[in-house]
Amino acid sequence: MLIGITMGDASGIGPELVLRAYMGDALKGDFIVIGDYEILKFCNQLLDIGAHLHRIDDLGQYMQGMLNVYDLGLMDGSSLKIGQISKTSGYAAYKYVEKATNMALYGVIDAIVTLPMNKESTRLSYPNFTGHTELIAEICGQQDYTMMLASDRLRVTHVSTHVSLKEAINAVKKGRVLKVIELTRNSLSSFIDKPKIAVAGLNPHAGENGAFGQEEIEEIIPAITCARQSGIDVVGPIPPDTVFIKAVNQEYDAVVCMYHDQGHIPMKLLDFDSGVNVTLGLKIVRTSVDHGTAFDIAYKGIASTKSLVSAYNYARLMAGDKM
């Protein structure tokens, strides 16, 4: 099994994270870094990390015992702007993801792990860029996908993510809720036998039988009913103020959330440093760190590698590695 790790925006913490995780022997199994050899070489020397780098442009050149860098040759130290918005690094980060996704689609690598991009930097070259997930889904030619945040303590998926709260409420429709339940079950089934899923309500007390809103009655409950009829073990809607503690106590394997913050707040509270972002519904396995480029601490050697290690391990798990 071979995992591809995209280097992320060169101006941020991505390069040092993969170098330090490698040197800490935290990335088990075979992997390549898809990015720029010269940037990793510069970072390796600047922070005195001591990684043994090996430049490749063909997987036949892969060498055991080395950090293999699939070099796209887009940047070097002279074009690097540490901790700053940069059109060059934003463009390069986009190309790393594009290359990795196509490699996974053609079966050259078994999964991809993405290190953070800076949206503002990438938009200087690609004005319509909204994020990793949307880019990868577009390359894969898929529209039915969702985000899952995962850690050792909790997993959450989302009916909607980066939209206003008003739009998020309008997005709570039977078909979409059902699709996210199905995507959640399909993903968990790759490593959990008969996963049990909880669905959070949208309104306080999950609407309390219509006292605080009709969305549960009109959209969420019908979706749950359809899911049960298809054989999915799913319960709900459960009041949002109690569903997460039940999941942490292992009553459920995942919680389907109705909007971005409903899922992100408990995850960030429980596992801020080690959470993993997983895209469900794609033709490929893709996980990501659950943090940004952290320009303020880039190239200082202090950024936590926990989320990268968790994302890497989760990618291997979802790709079928029993580890």
The pLDDT value given to residue 323: 46
Give every CB contact of residue 16 below 8 A, 6+ residues apart in sequence: 43, 47, 49, 298, 299, 301, 303
pTM: 0.86
Residues 168 and 231: their CA atoms lie apart, in Å, by: 28
Range with lowest mean pLDDT among 42-56, 146-160, 215-229, 233-247: 146-160
Torsion of the alpha carbons at 109, 113, 115 and 117, rounded to the nearest 10: 80
Kindly state the greatest CA–CA separation across the chain.
65
Above 90 in pLDDT, residue 277?
A: no
Give the Cβ contact number of residue 62 at 10 Å: 15
Give every CB contact of residue 113 below 8 A, 6+ residues apart in sequence: 3, 4, 5, 6, 31, 286, 287, 288, 289, 308, 311, 312, 315
Question: Mean pLDDT, the chain, as a whole number?
Answer: 92
Per residue in 293-323, pLDDT tens? Answer: 999 999 999 999 998 999 999 899 888 764 4
Above 70 in pLDDT, residue 51?
A: yes
Tell me what the mean pLDDT of segment 160-172 comes to. 90
Domains and CATH numbers, the chain: 2-142+282-318 (3.40.718.10), 146-268 (3.40.718.10)
Segment (H or E) for 19: helix 14-23
pLDDT interval class at 71 (50, 70, 90)? very high
- Comparing 184 with 152, the larger pLDDT belongs to 184
Tell me what the mean pLDDT of segment 72-90 comes to. 93
The pLDDT value given to residue 322: 47
Per residue in 6-26, pLDDT tens? Answer: 999 999 999 999 999 999 889
Torsion of the alpha carbons at 233, 238, 243 and 246, rounded to the nearest 10: -60
Tell me what the mean pLDDT of segment 122-140 comes to. 90
Per residue in 187-233, pLDDT tens? Answer: 898 788 899 999 999 999 987 888 888 899 999 999 999 999 999 99
The pLDDT value given to residue 321: 62
